[in-house]
Structure 1
Amino acid sequence: MRILHTSDWHIGRTFHGNSTMDALAEVLAALAVQVRDHSVDVVIVAGDVFDSAAPAGAAYTLLGDALVALHETGATVIVTSGNHDSAARLGFQARLLRDGIHVLTDPLGIGTPVTLSDADGPVHFYGIPYLEPAIVRQHWEGVDLRTQAQTVAHAMDLVRAGMKEHGGRSVAIAHCFSAGVDATIGLEREVRQGGLDVVPLSVFDGPDYVALGHIHGRQQISDRVRYSGAPLHYSFGEQHKPRGSWLIDLDATGLVGVDWLDLPVPRRLVTLTGTLDEILSSENVTAHADDWVCAVYTDALAQTEPMRRLRERYPHCAMVQHQPAERAESIERSYVDRLRGAATDPERIEAFLEHVRSGHGATVREGELIREVLDDRVRADALI
């Protein structure tokens, strides 16, 4: 049996205020082509189908189009819910969906598999929706479920109980933060509190393959436990991480092969660092005019209207940051210390400018203007 593992579509998410719907539609269409070209039997979507619990109508349309396209390849589709999804909203149409599309959002159904067969016999797919301990502990009285790690461990116990009952090969699907992953700083809204909710790798013992969601970059925790990551780049922190999915092959004995399938990147992401003039150079513009651009300019002083100037050359500049290359030693002094050492008005103004400009005071021309203003005030005071 051939399985494609994808996750974290985040339908409806924006990228620095820009819609990603068209780009995601393009990528999911390419995914359906891959499913057909590689004769995939089962497509797994491991959670975070939507980006919010209350997605807009267009998000439902895109999901419907993607599921129909995948179904028309002849593959069976199995979807679980993630921490961004509303399980109720994602699952409310489950009974109305056509044969071959399964949306698994009910915690009480964890031990009951979706069973599919090939020439080597049955393969049992166990879907674990995202489990919030405070919400789902009511379903299992007498079980200590204070953390998400404990809750996923209990869910995997239910999976292993189902495996004993049904026999044959098995695949588990979950959405969580596993020990050993490398998360993107500031992007993944981690399913954990402190270190308590990191799920140990041993929790996933048993199934032939475990398809995980939540981390946006592909990760191989072990040969049989993996994250596929998101199909789009949703952060500049992800720009160097490939986008794609895992292609898994099972034979009569279990897992025999895992390959990576790259997905197209509709618009590349690039971070350009240097002075603003360097970033705006013709060489850079020629190479990156069509990319999403994060500009990190290193000029000593903040520049006037940097975003406007950047977007004149880079229409898709999404982010600008000022990070001076050199920080004067005086930046280590507090503003209060600077004021205490200032005896005159020009010195106080200089202290203020050093404080707000990362240690850099007035330029020569600014100093001349400051003195002119102060002299005018002295002359005005003398006339009173």
Structure 2
Amino acid sequence: MSLRLLHTSDWHLGQHFMGKTRQAEHQAFCAWLLEQVRQHAVDVLLIAGDLFDTGSPPSYAREQYYRLVVQLHEAGCSLVVLGGNHDSPAMLGESRSLLAQLGAQVVPGVAREPDDQVLLLNNRDGQPGAVLCAVPFIRPRDVLTSQAGQSAQDKQQNLQQAIAGHYRALYERALVYRTELGLELPIIASGHLTTVGASASESVREIYVGSLEAFPTNAFPPADYIALGHIHRPQKVAGFEHIRYSGSPIALSFDEARQQKEVLLLQFEAAALHTVTSLPVPVFQPLASLRGSLKELAAGIAKLAAQGTPERPVWLELQVNSDDYLSDLQGRINALCEGLPVEVLRIRRERGSNVASLTGEARETLDELGVEDVFNRRLQQEALDEEDIRRLQQLYRQVLEELPEGR
């Protein structure tokens, strides 16, 4: 038996980036991805969480998703979608029965019946190719019962054990299922969480704060491949070839701008992982972050302008580190950019508070920010050190976790 699977994650369809929509980038990515599916005769596309950026994505983002399902079906490729911490289980789950008619399997959250998370993956010939332990983002309430009087350390240990137990139970069911089929098939597991040693970026929102900082690698089951999401930088985990984050397909923050984004093409042969091939994703919207004096920024902006066009200007973040005293900083930077295919989305002053400077109609509004984003914006206005900010963020998330669902 053989199977070709594309591992990807963290698309964040519907994201607004400092007032800018990512719709065109995501559309270009989907077109490129479909070409890879056809070129490499991919059997299954796996999206390991955070398909959408919010639990209530805009209509165009949903349309992109549904259109892709149809196009993958026409290309002979099955789809598996797992819920992430940004996704709404209710929203993802509402269309799962309909999408199943088009070869899409959706696991929006931890299922009541564990068997619903053990999926058979067929190749394009309809033959069994692998068994998937489909693990989405696990919320503490999915696997734990809250107990009064527990310390943060107790909560962390209990949640880690509960998640490890969930993986173990699914893996054991997968072994039984494989035996019942009478076939030697590889077992794949997934996850949407932070693992020990993973390198994140500023666009990754911490999860499990106060309960679980990072899941240990040795707590994963001995699956043939573990497809992870949540961390946006593509990477192996603890150096293992078979435990990987695919990363996000587009840069979701300025500190990701220099990353080479990718999707991972997996080839399974004879019940084992045969090869892992990185398919580099083209840059559909150039982003760049520059730091220096106005003179240094002028040279950097002129150089970066070569990457842009009038139709697709380079989005810039500028940090001024020696001319902070200038009161007309915005005007001076506008003069530097005049006539160039660049657009400044944010200006940071190295000393003092950050100044969000958006050109044209690029303005952040409350409906483009999540609740946690608003809270973090408020923290930035206070003279707090990093430890105080981290502690307040932890307390804030603990309060949210303890609220009844739906509040």
Aligned to 2:189: 172
1:294 aligns with 2:317: yes
Are the aligned partners of 2:10 and 2:229 in contact in 1 as well (CA < 8 Å)?
Answer: yes
1:321 aligns with 2:348: yes
Aligned to 2:10: 8
The residue type equivalent to 1:29 in the other structure is A
Aligned to 1:38: 40
Please, which runs of 5 or more residues in structure 2 have no aligned partner? 146-153, 179-184, 352-407
CA shift in 2, pair 1:94/1:285, >3 Å? closer
1:213 aligns with 2:229: yes
Are the aligned partners of 1:2 and 1:249 in contact in 2 as well (CA < 8 Å)?
Answer: yes
The structure with higher relative contact order (CA 8 Å, sep 6+) is: 2
Report the Cα distance in structure 1 between the residues aligned to 2:304 and 2:103, rounded to whole angstroms: 48
Equivalent position SS for 1:153: helix
- 1:113-160 CA deviation, whole Å, 9 max, x = no partner? 22134598541112112111124436xxxxx98654333212201222
Equivalent position SS for 1:158: helix
1:192 aligns with 2:208: yes
Please, which runs of 5 or more residues in structure 1 have no aligned partner? 139-143, 325-384
Give the counterpart of 2:252 among 223, 230, 234.
Answer: 234
How far residue 206 of structure 1 moved from its aligned partner, in angstroms, is 1.9
CA shift in 2, pair 1:151/1:50, >3 Å? farther
Aligned to 1:377: none
Are the aligned partners of 1:293 and 1:314 in contact in 2 as well (CA < 8 Å)?
Answer: no
The residue type equivalent to 1:229 in the other structure is G
How far residue 276 of structure 1 moved from its aligned partner, in angstroms, is 1.7
Could you tell me the TM-score, scaled by structure 2's length? 0.72
Are the aligned partners of 1:145 and 1:151 in contact in 2 as well (CA < 8 Å)?
Answer: no
Larger radius of gyration: 1
- 1:337-371 CA deviation, whole Å, 9 max, x = no partner? xxxxxxxxxxxxxxxxxxxxxxxxxxxxxxxxxxx
Are the aligned partners of 1:126 and 1:171 in contact in 2 as well (CA < 8 Å)?
Answer: yes
CA RMSD after TM alignment: 2.5
Aligned to 2:108: 105
Equivalent position SS for 2:66: helix
Aligned to 2:85: 83
Report the Cα distance in structure 2 between the residues aligned to 1:179 and 1:27, rounded to whole angstroms: 30
Report the Cα distance in structure 1 between the residues aligned to 2:164 and 2:46, rounded to whole angstroms: 21
CA shift in 2, pair 1:267/1:287, >3 Å? same
Are the aligned partners of 1:111 and 1:161 in contact in 2 as well (CA < 8 Å)?
Answer: no
Equivalent position SS for 1:216: coil
How far residue 295 of structure 1 moved from its aligned partner, in angstroms, is 1.6
Are the aligned partners of 1:115 and 1:124 in contact in 2 as well (CA < 8 Å)?
Answer: yes
Report the Cα distance in structure 1 between the residues aligned to 2:257 and 2:251, rounded to whole angstroms: 6
How far residue 16 of structure 1 moved from its aligned partner, in angstroms, is 1.7
Q: Please give the residue correspondences for 1:322-337 in structure 2 after superposition, counting only pairs within 5 Å.
A: 322-323=349-350
- 1:138-188 CA deviation, whole Å, 9 max, x = no partner? 6xxxxx98654333212201222212211232111211111120111x321
Segment of structure 1 superposing worse, 294-303 or 217-226: 294-303
How many aligned positions are there? 319
Are the aligned partners of 1:47 and 1:175 in contact in 2 as well (CA < 8 Å)?
Answer: yes
Report the Cα distance in structure 2 between the residues aligned to 1:258 and 1:73, rounded to whole angstroms: 22
The residue type equivalent to 2:328 in the other structure is T
Segment of structure 1 superposing worse, 93-102 or 299-308: 299-308
- 1:69-107 CA deviation, whole Å, 9 max, x = no partner? 222221110001000001111111111112411111242
Aligned to 1:339: none
Q: Please give the residue correspondences for 1:8-87 in structure 2 after superposition, counting only pairs within 5 Å.
A: 8-87=10-89
The residue type equivalent to 1:159 in the other structure is L
CA shift in 2, pair 1:278/1:18, >3 Å? same
Give the counterpart of 1:259 among 274, 277, 293.
Answer: 277
Report the Cα distance in structure 2 between the residues aligned to 1:34 and 1:191, rounded to whole angstroms: 32
The residue type equivalent to 1:114 in the other structure is L
Report the Cα distance in structure 1 between the residues aligned to 2:321 and 2:129, rounded to whole angstroms: 60
CA shift in 2, pair 1:195/1:26, >3 Å? same
Could you tell me the TM-score, scaled by structure 1's length? 0.76
Give the counterpart of 2:243 among 214, 217, 225.
Answer: 225
CA shift in 2, pair 1:310/1:320, >3 Å? farther
